[in-house]
């Protein structure tokens, strides 16, 4: 007997990964979108008249995020201005192609787009960095540079906030990685839905409770245009292990993803815990809790042909650079 949608009793075409409910396409869309709306309202992610930069990579998460935020902004009248912000790391055969997808999304969704590149900000592309340092630690450089590039792009656009496509699986992975590393400080911070409210540009994660499988399903049934190739420099074995682990436990018990996030939340930072004092980097003027920011330390290492300067024992390395 064909399955019946548990909401409207029409024919179901899918089983919802998060709940196991049989649903028709329309009821799945509605459940998916309204859960995100609930997250946005409940966590007070946006205020009327704010401008929100959507960190757009052309991948499934940020493409669905742009589509859903535009839809919810119209449906529920959030009154926010949405813009797309992309970072071009300079990875031939990967980012150049995915940016073509973002450019099409810009037209499809009618949202303005800004692309900011490592090359213009730092004078280095990831292709050049990998040529110099090889395929080890490349993601450490890339992560530090991307974080700052997004913030700088957002400042240029004068936005109030950045929204990223991090989903529930990503956050559960980060919780597991921090548990395995015994990194209690990060463990306490990594489940926050909004970060950077203490001076830096706030960032928020409207997909905090949204399952990756449902994002893929939504993109598929909505026929959204996204780019699905992995980065050619992606080794990240440690995250890969956490990812495989999450997928395994999800198979046995789908609620495990949300439960891991809730475990992390129960340890989250209470308001009275002291956070590092924010200042500005004396080199680039960008927000930093040290005299010289991490991006500048790494950049100096690259420019001096000593890329290891930027990695590892940063206190010692920073002293070497600043004195
Ligand atoms: Fe950058 Fe590594 Fe991600 Fe590739 S996989 S985009 S190198 S962080
Ligand atoms: Zn700096």
Q: Which residues surround ligand 2, an ion (CB under 5 A)?
A: 281, 283-284, 286, 293, 296
Reported as a pLDDT band with limits 50, 70 and 90, residue 315 is low
Q: Is the pLDDT of residue 232 over 70?
A: yes
Range of the domain at 206: 33-275
Distance between Cα 137 and ligand 1 center (Å): 10
Residue 316, domain member (yes or no) = yes
pTM over 0.85: yes
Reported as a pLDDT band with limits 50, 70 and 90, residue 226 is very high
- Of 45-49, 57-61, 100-104, 308-312, the poorest mean pLDDT is in 308-312
In degrees, to the nearest 5, what angle opens at C-alpha 80 toward C-alphas 74 and 86?
100
What pLDDT does 129 receive? 95
For tokens 């450490």, what's the residue?
140
What pLDDT does 323 receive? 45
Residue 297, domain member (yes or no) = yes
Q: Which of 58, 89, 97, 237 to mutate to test the pocket of ligand 1 (most atoms within 8 A of CB)?
A: 89
Q: Report the b/e string of 60-91 with b at 16+ CB within 10 A.
A: bbbbbbbbbbbbbbeeeebebebbbbbbbbbb
Distance between Cα 280 and ligand 2 center (Å): 8
What pLDDT does 92 receive? 94
How many independent structural domains does the chain possess?
2
Residue 113, domain member (yes or no) = yes
Are both 315 and 216 inside the same structural domain?
no
Reported as a pLDDT band with limits 50, 70 and 90, residue 36 is very high
What is the percent of the chain with per-residue pLDDT over 70, rounded to a whole number?
92
What is the percent of the chain with per-residue pLDDT over 90, rounded to a whole number?
76
- Kindly state if the Cβ of 112 falls inside 6 Å of ligand 1: no
Reported as a pLDDT band with limits 50, 70 and 90, residue 199 is low
Are both 77 and 172 inside the same structural domain?
yes
DSSP single-letter state for residue 47:
-
Reported as a pLDDT band with limits 50, 70 and 90, residue 9 is very high
Angle, helix 294-303 to helix 138-156, in steps of 10 degrees: 120
- Kindly state if the Cβ of 224 falls inside 6 Å of ligand 1: no
Reported as a pLDDT band with limits 50, 70 and 90, residue 238 is confident
Interval 84-107 mean pLDDT = 95
Are both 112 and 259 inside the same structural domain?
yes
Are both 254 and 290 inside the same structural domain?
no
Q: Whose CA is nearest to atom 2 of ligand 1?
A: 139
CATH number of the domain that residue 111 is part of = 3.40.50.620
Residue 107, domain member (yes or no) = yes
User: pLDDT tens-digit profile of 135-176?
Assistant: 888 999 999 999 999 999 999 999 999 999 999 999 999 999
User: pLDDT tens-digit profile of 266-307?
Assistant: 987 665 455 567 788 999 888 888 899 999 999 999 998 887
- Kindly state if the Cβ of 138 falls inside 6 Å of ligand 1: yes
What pLDDT does 313 receive? 54
Which of 255, 275, 295 is the last residue in one of the domains? Answer: 275
**Tokens matching residue 303:** 């420019």
Distance between Cα 132 and ligand 1 center (Å): 15
Taken as a whole, the chain contains a residue count of 323
| Pairwise CA distance, residues 54 & 62, whole Å | 7
Are both 102 and 168 inside the same structural domain?
yes
Taking alpha carbons only, the member of 128, 129, 131, 159 closest to residue 56 is 159
Three-state secondary structure call for residue 268: coil
Q: Is the pLDDT of residue 319 over 60?
A: no
Are both 302 and 248 inside the same structural domain?
no
Q: Which of 231, 239, 240, 243 to mutate to test the pocket of ligand 1 (most atoms within 8 A of CB)?
A: 231
Are both 86 and 49 inside the same structural domain?
yes
Residue 249, domain member (yes or no) = yes
Compute the mean pLDDT over every residue in the chain, rounded to the nearest whole number: 91
Residue 319, domain member (yes or no) = yes
What pLDDT does 59 receive? 95
Interval 59-76 mean pLDDT = 97
What pLDDT does 5 receive? 96
């Amino acid at each position: 007997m064909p399955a019946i949608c548990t909401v409207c009793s029409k024919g179901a075409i899918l089983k919802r990964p998060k709940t196991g409910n049989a649903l028709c396409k329309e009821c799945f869309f509605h459940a998916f979108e309204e859960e995100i709306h609930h997250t946005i309202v409940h966590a007070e992610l946006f205020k009327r008249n704010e401008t929100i930069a959507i960190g757009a990579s052309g991948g499934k998460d940020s493409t669905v995020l742009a589509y859903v935020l535009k839809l919810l902004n119209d449906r529920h009248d959030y009154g926010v201005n949405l813009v797309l912000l992309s970072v071009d790391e300079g990875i031939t055969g990967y980012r150049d192609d995915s940016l073509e997808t973002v450019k099409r999304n810009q037209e499809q969704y009618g949202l303005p787009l800004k692309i900011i590149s490592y090359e213009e900000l730092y004078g280095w592309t990831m292709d050049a960095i990998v040529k110099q340092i090889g395929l080890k630690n490349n993601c450490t450089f890339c992560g530090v540079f991307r974080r700052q590039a997004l913030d700088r792009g957002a400042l240029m656009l004068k936005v109030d906030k950045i929204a990223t496509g991090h989903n529930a699986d990503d956050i559960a992975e980060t919780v597991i990685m921090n548990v395995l590393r015994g990194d209690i400080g990060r463990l306490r911070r990594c489940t926050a839905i909004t970060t950077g409210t203490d001076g830096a540009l706030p960032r928020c994660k409207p997909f905090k409770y949204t399952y990756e499988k449902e994002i893929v399903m939504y993109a598929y049934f909505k026929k959204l245009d996204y780019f699905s190739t992995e980065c050619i420099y992606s080794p990240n074995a440690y995250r890969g292990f956490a990812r495989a682990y999450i997928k395994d436990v999800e198979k046995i018990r789908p609620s495990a993803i949300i439960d891991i996030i809730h475990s992390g939340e129960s340890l989250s930072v209470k308001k009275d815990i002291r956070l590092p004092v924010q200042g500005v980097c004396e080199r680039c003027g960008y927000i930093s809790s040290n005299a010289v920011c991490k991006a500048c330390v790494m950049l100096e290492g690259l420019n001096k042909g000593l890329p290891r300067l930027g990695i590892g024992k940063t206190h010692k390395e920073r002293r070497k650079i600043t004195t």
